Structure 1
Amino acid sequence: MTELRNNAGLSRRTLLQATGAALTIPAIARTTAAFAQEKLAGSGEVVVYSYGGSFTDGVRRLVYEPFTKATGIKVVDVVADLSEPQVKAMSQAGRIDWDIAYVQPQNYPSMHDAGMFVPIDYNLWDEESLAGTPPRARLKDAVELFSVGLLLAYDQRAFPKGGPQNWKDFWNIKDFQGSRGLNADDYVRNPVIALLTAGVPRKDIWPLTDDKLDRAFAKLNEIKPSITKWWTAGGEPTQLLINREYAMTTAYDGRVLATIRQGAPIKMAWDGAYLRPQYGTILKGGPNTENAQKFVAFLNRSKIAAAWTQATGYPGPNTNQLDHLPAELIPLLNINPEIASKTVIEDAAWLASKRPDGKTNANYLQGRWLAWRAQ
């Protein structure tokens, strides 16, 4: 569980830290009777997994309550640190108590192969939802709910003449002096940003072949002496920037966004940021499958997608939500097309694939990372 939590960067703790600083949330999710099309109306309930704390408080107010008003279906949320162990246990027991679970991309393939999810009914989606949501985010039996970006964040006070704008600047200790931070446990994203620094184009990052990894770790050797503290919890990087213990660091975009909106002198640099999606799935055998389909369709409407972004700081994939978000927020979001064009999107299928020795590529990467860190 520790491995999954560290690899995803999305433990319940991390998400709560990322959303602990309340955003200023306008009333963008007001719904009327006309908003709910007849095909989404219903009764009863839907049981939805969530992370708890401020994350769930936000989506209750801006997503769940509007859904109930529009459709007549009550949302019952259940909280767990990670959903996958719970879903697997329910599947083995032959009793599925939830309807919707959030699944980390590396865990999705094996659970999909085991037949744990039902196909998404895209016939319930309206035209703007389908048009605004790219095909890569609409799998047969899963939908991208939101993406977390790992990006370069820096302290403006440390660079009054202009701060670092990409990973090459992060490695450039001559022109951009100051203490650096990296995640101690991120055995996937750290090598990727090192490859970008080494000059590998974004489109050529995947697969992470052994020769590419050799280049990545050679590059990491260069920056290792300048890492003054290896962070482990999602709230650490921004706090260390505020305290001036870091001049620059990797950080999760939602956490940086919340801190900026509180007035902290922190800047984002999106060039080469790493995006990792989180999937929403409807569990096979769940008690309210029909209502779950309606919930997923509702969630991906542009106004509700915007409400989700406002509530959590982590945007879903429907780009039409940009029409319903405050103008000052858009330059800070990974859903912004200008920003998205600069990012690397995780290849979860490759990470989950098995090598000749039976290990997954992710497990192999972890082994190489741990050996490098121990040097």
Structure 2
Amino acid sequence: MPAQSLSLNSNKPILSWANHDLGARETQMAKNVASLPFVYKHVALMSDVHLGKGALVGSVIATQDAIIPAAVGVDIGCGMCAIQTPYSSHQLEGKLKKIRKEIEATIPVGFDANKNIDKAVYNWQGWHSFKELHKGVQHLEGKALKQMGSLGGGNHFIEVCIDTEDNVWLMLHSGSRNIGNMLAQNHIRTAKDLAKLAHQKLPDPDLSAFVAGTDAFQQYWHDLQWAQDYARFNRDVMMSRFKKILELHLGGGKPFKPKLAVNCHHNYAERESHFGEEVYVTRKGAVRARTTDYGIIPGSMGAKSFIVKGRGNHESYCSCSHGAGRLMSRTKAKHTFTLDDLIEQTDGIECRKDAGILDEIPAAYKPIEEVMANQNDLVEVVATLRQVVCVKG
């Protein structure tokens, strides 16, 4: 659908693909961002937009000569990875539980880390510049090494899926783990301290920004790019292990070349050209969707997911949603639903069915079909997937 220009009396226009009225808190958060003097042209809200910290999750913010670390968020480079395999659904029959158990034994989830470090992890080029990162993380190199190739918790997941053409897909969702979190927290703290020293009047302290050309900006930009690379490679390491599990169970151990592979961030910032100018684009819960970009838009653990290709819509800064978006908070979901509800809503899916993942129950998320319908001018659907195995962090 075409974007709606929201009548919010903000300094810069706010364009929305959400096709619904924002609540009072969401409205104020959008206005806060649009009031900042360095925001470029307009703020774009994706179809899955919901409350965040400082800025809305599902927002795209283009800025000139400044960047807001809290808008990027604490899971720098969080994103999705998916590959299309040569296998068909009938090859999975009777093997789903074994596959899930092996995934859980091979890829650490939650707070767990790897006991043994893969050779590929040691060879990652990012370790050469670790000593150039913020001094507040210098003691974390060993932990960062052990967490490379681990999933994390919250809404991170690993899934075996089947598309409408009966192809088996492997898909996962993860970010930059503790090292990205610690980098972000250190820089957010610095940005807030600098704003206080300068006596800046901000609508929200979480909108404290670094100004281009300053040492603080340069250090953040360096660390941001490092953490984004870490997150992307982290997904590659997990996908490599995941792929070997399927090759063993479905292909007799014979390696295969993916028919299509996608690896995309949805919490990150990059320097890009829009409307003829170079700007910094922060996608907080949004995926880049140029005409050359493939992306992944997952639903909940009981709903469809989509492999998409961008349409290059410039009003959205060539972006699309990063998922269904939460309908209710984790706390509210735990108080609203029961374990029986979870079991019912994940019927037919090989996954954990315990109170530990009740906050990830499908009904806590927006209907993915509506989210997709509201952004058909941003992406085209390449494949529609449903999960048959889901491992949660």
Q: TM-score, normalised by structure 1?
A: 0.27
Which structure is higher in RCO with an 8 Å CA cutoff and minimum separation 6?
A: 1
Structure with the largest fraction of helix: 1
Q: TM-score, normalised by structure 2?
A: 0.27
Structure with the largest fraction of strand: 2
